[in-house]
Each structure stands twice: as structure tokens, then as C-alpha cells.
Structure 1
Amino acid sequence: MAGEAPQYVAARVQRALAEDERTHELGIRVDVRGDQIFLRGQVGDEYRREAIAGVAGEAAPELEVHNEISVVEVRDPGEEENL
């Protein structure tokens, strides 16, 4: 993996996030800069946020993971909207 182009490392991590049973995540942005990987996006809870960082770290153990994923509150739909 040494000398692997950043875009290939990012693609490997994104594939791992999509395929791992702990995450099955497609909506996270993965950026690689030098020996660091940055994860950005939004999820519904802290457990999922940490699981994504864990899977990314396993997929690219040579990189330092920066978890910049936000946890957003998921609410039930409110009143019916009349158009």
C-alpha cells in the first residue's frame, strides 16, 4: 500500500464503508491528504459515526483518521404539507 495514490486509498475506504456490515454507508465523503484521511458527512447517531471511523481505520491502517462526521437529529415527519 505504500506509495498508493490518494484517490485509490479513498476509493478503497469508500468501498469498505459500503460493504462492511457495521456501516453499509454510501454518503460519507473520504479525502486523503498525505498520511491523513478525512471523513465528512452526516449520520443519525454517535454509534454509527464511530463505526464509520473504525472501518476507515481498518481499511487504511497506515493513515491517521480525522472523523469530521456530524451527528444530526433524525425526527419523524411533522404535519402533512398541503400543496
Structure 2
Amino acid sequence: MEAPQYVAARVQQALAEDGRTNELGIRVDVRGDQLFLRGQVSEAGQRDRLGLVAHEAAPELHLHNEITIVGDVFDQGEDEHLD
């Protein structure tokens, strides 16, 4: 059985290198047969793609996608004006 830190590194590398995700800011934790993804993305579609890529990289683990979706920084009630 592969050590948890190696499984986490393999998943982290897949998230960074897969063309569907190219994501560096996601924390990957492996505990037993559980795989946890944590971090923030700007849209639900990206969250779903990250879960898919992580599952493909470690299909033997039970995935817990705890990534949260945050709005764009300009969606906080203020309009951006470019001149």
C-alpha cells in the first residue's frame, strides 16, 4: 500500500498538471482510505473538475470535496470602472 504522503503528492501533481484544472492552491490530505480536497475556487465547475481529476488520480480512495466557492473580488457590491 502506498504511503499517504505519496498518494497526496500524486493527486496534487494531477490537479496542477491536468489541463482541465491547472490548480495549485488546493490542499490535499489523505487519511486512511479518505481523500480530502480543501481550498477555494471561483466557480462550481472548477470545484467539480478538481474532484473528478482527484478521483481519477486516486480511484481507490473515498473523496471528500470540501473546496468552497468564492465570488469574484469585484462581485462584492462595488462596480469596477476602467477608463
TM-score, normalised by the number of residues in structure 1? 0.88
Distance 1:75 1:14 in 2: 26
Give the aligned length.
78
State yes or no: 1:13 paired with 2:27: no
What residue is the counterpart of 1:71 in the other structure?
Answer: 69
User: Which structure 2 residue ranges, 5 or more long, are not aligned?
Assistant: none
Which runs of structure 2 are paired with 1:21-36 in the superposition (5 Å)? Answer: 21-36=19-34
Which runs of structure 2 are paired with 1:43-82 in the superposition (5 Å)? Answer: 43-76=41-74, 78=78
Q: CA RMSD in A?
A: 1.6
Task: Give every structure 1 segment of 4 or more consecutive aligned residues whose post-TM-superposition deviation is greater than 3 Å.
Answer: none
How far 1:17 sits from its partner (Å)?
A: 0.2
What residue is the counterpart of 1:38 in the other structure?
Answer: 36
Give the partner amino acid of 1:40.
R
Distance 2:49 2:27 in 1: 15
TM-score, normalised by the number of residues in structure 2? 0.88
